[in-house]
Amino acid sequence: MRKKIFMSALAAASLFFNVNVFAQESREEEPDVDIDIPAKDPVKPFKSPEVASLNRDNVADAYPFISGDGLRLYYSSSHNASFSNLYISERKSIKEPFGEARLLCPSYETGYYCATFTADEQTMYLGKSGHIYVARRSSINATFGEPELVEGLPGGFIFAPAISPNGEELVLVTDSNPDDLAHFKMTSYKRATPADGFAIPPTEYKEPGTGQFSKDGLQYYLSVYTQMNKSVILRGSRTSLKEQFTNWEELKLGPAGVSVAGQPTVNADGTILLFISSPNNSWNGDDLVYATDFDRNDFAKNANVIPGEKVTPAAAVMIQAKLYPNPAVHSVTFELVAEPGAEYTLWLVDMNGRRVKQQRIVARRSIINLEGLTSGIYIYELRDDTGKLVAGGKLVRTQ
C-alpha cells in the first residue's frame, strides 16, 4: 500500500524534498494519499464538473481543503514541474464550478503541501520535508506570512496536518506509529503539547491516514484501509470539543472498484465533500473529486455526473428554519422563521439512507420526539406536498 511504501523510504524522500524535483520514477517518494486499488481492476478517473478545470493529466492535484462557505478551495499540485506548490481556486456561488487556480503564496519556495486551515482561514498549517509549519495572515484577503516551524512535535517524518476550526487541536500522521494518529493541543499558534491518544476507528479498519475536522469540530473525516486493503473514508462524531470521536461510519462513495477515498474535506454544513481519486494509484495520478449528497447516493455510478439532490443553503433558502437543541437527547424543536404558507413533511434520514421518522409540520413550531432512535447523525429534510426539498440540515442524537 502507498502509505507503507512512503514510510519505508523516508531518507530518500527527505533528499527528494530538499532538491524540490519530482522524480516520476521514484514512487517511494510520493506523499501519502491513502489509496489502494488492485492493478487487475483498472478504473476511469472521476470527471467532477465543479473541479474539472483544476485536474490535469499526469499531474498531482491533491490535499484539498474547502472553506466553510464552499467558495474557496485550497489544494496542492505539482503542475509546475515541482514536487508541490499551494494553490487556491475560488467561485462566487456553490452552483458554479471553481475558477482558474492561482498560487496561494507566490513567495514560498516549492515543496510546501497538505495545507489545513482554522475556521477563519487566517492560520494555515502545512508540511514540508517531514516537518510541520504554520503561517498566518491578518484577513482572508491578506497574504500569508513566512512559515514558522511548529514547536513541540515529535521527531521523524510527520505530515498531513489537520487543525481544528478553533486552532486548539492538531492531528498528524507520523512514521513512528503508522497504526495510530498523533494528537496535540496547541498552547499557542506555533507550540504543541501531546494530548490524549486520538480515538482511532474500530478494529475492522487499519492504517488511519489523512483527515480533516468538520467546520464545527464535532466530526472528523478520515482516510483508512479496511482489513481487505480497500481505501475508504470514515466519519467520526462527538458531542463536544472535549470528547474523543466515536460512532465511526463509512461513507458511501461509489460502486465497488472505483478508486476513491483519500484526503477528505467538507464545507460548513457537511453537504459538500472533496477528496482525491487516483486511478493509476500514483502521486501524479491524483485528481480532485467533488461530491454532494454522499450519505445517500452512490454518486460515482456515472463518472461525469454526480446525481442526487443537494441539501445545501442554496436549496434551503426557500424556507428558513432552525432545529434545536442540536445535539439533542429526547426531543428537538423544529421552528420555521415565518408562519408556514403550506403544510410540510419533516423526514429524518439515517446514514444508511433510511427514512426513520416523519412528522407533519402544520405550525410554526413543532416538537419532534426522538425516542426510539439510536445515537448518531441524521439528515433532516423538510419537503412540501409535491416532494420538493425546501430545507434541510444535520441532527445529532445522543443518549
Answer whether residue 350 shows pLDDT above 80: no
Q: Does residue 118 have a pLDDT over 90?
A: yes
Whether the model clears a pTM of 0.75, i.e. scores above it, the answer is no
Residue 280 predicted with pLDDT over 50 = yes
Output the pLDDT for position 89: 96
Q: Which residue in 60, 26, 3 sits closest to 174, CA to CA?
A: 3
Q: Binning pLDDT at 50, 70 and 90, where does residue 357 land?
A: very high
Backbone angles phi, psi at 18, to 5 degrees: -65, -35
pLDDT of 319 reads 75
Q: Which residue has the higher pLDDT, 2 or 184?
A: 184
87-119 b/e with 16+ CB inside 10 Å = b?
bbbeeeebeeebeebeebbeebebbbbbbbbbb
pLDDT at 261: 60
Dist CA 310 CA 321 (whole Å): 17
Most confident of 59-63, 155-159, 162-166: 162-166
CA dist 166 to 120, 218, 272, Å? Answer: 9, 11, 21
Hey, which bits of 8-96 come out as E strands? Answer: 61-66, 72-77, 85-90
Rounded Cα distance, 272 and 265, in Å: 8
Instruction: Let me know if the fold of 2-301 is the same as that of 317-397.
Output: no
pLDDT classification of 110: cutoffs 50, 70, 90: confident
Cell representation of residue 223: 482516510
pLDDT in tens, 223-262: 888 877 778 889 999 888 888 898 888 887 654 434 556 8
Mean pLDDT of the region 156-160: 87
Q: What is the C-alpha to C-alpha distance for residues 290 and 276, in angstroms, rounded to an integer? A: 9
pLDDT at 168 over 70: yes
Joined together, the cell numbers standing for residue 146 give: 513566512
Quick one: CA torsion of 338, 339, 343, 347, rounded to 10 degrees? 40
**One-letter identity of residue 51:** V
Task: Using the Cα atoms of residue 169, residue 232, residue 273 and residue 240 in order, give the sign of their dihedral.
Answer: negative
CA dihedral 213→219→223→227, nearest 10 degrees, is 160
pLDDT at 294: 62
For the chain, give the percent of residues with pLDDT over 70.
75
Query: Is domain 317-397 classified as CATH 2.60.40.10?
Result: yes
| pLDDT score at 249 | 87
Ramachandran region of residue 207, left (φ > 0), alpha (ψ -120 to 50) or beta? left
Instruction: Give residue 8's pLDDT.
Output: 39
Q: Which residues lie below 8 Å from residue 229, measured CB to CB, with a gap of 6+?
A: 1, 36
The per-residue pLDDT for range 21-71, each reduced to its tens digit, is: 222 223 333 333 333 333 333 333 455 789 988 888 777 788 999 999 999
Cell numbers found for residue 182: 498523533
User: What is the third-level CATH fold of 2-301?
Assistant: Neuraminidase (2.120.10)
Rounded to whole angstroms, the Cα distance separating 50 from 273 reads 12
Q: Could you report the per-residue pLDDT of 194-214, keeping only the tens digit for each?
A: 998 777 777 788 888 899 999
Listed by start position, the domains of the chain span 2-301, 317-397
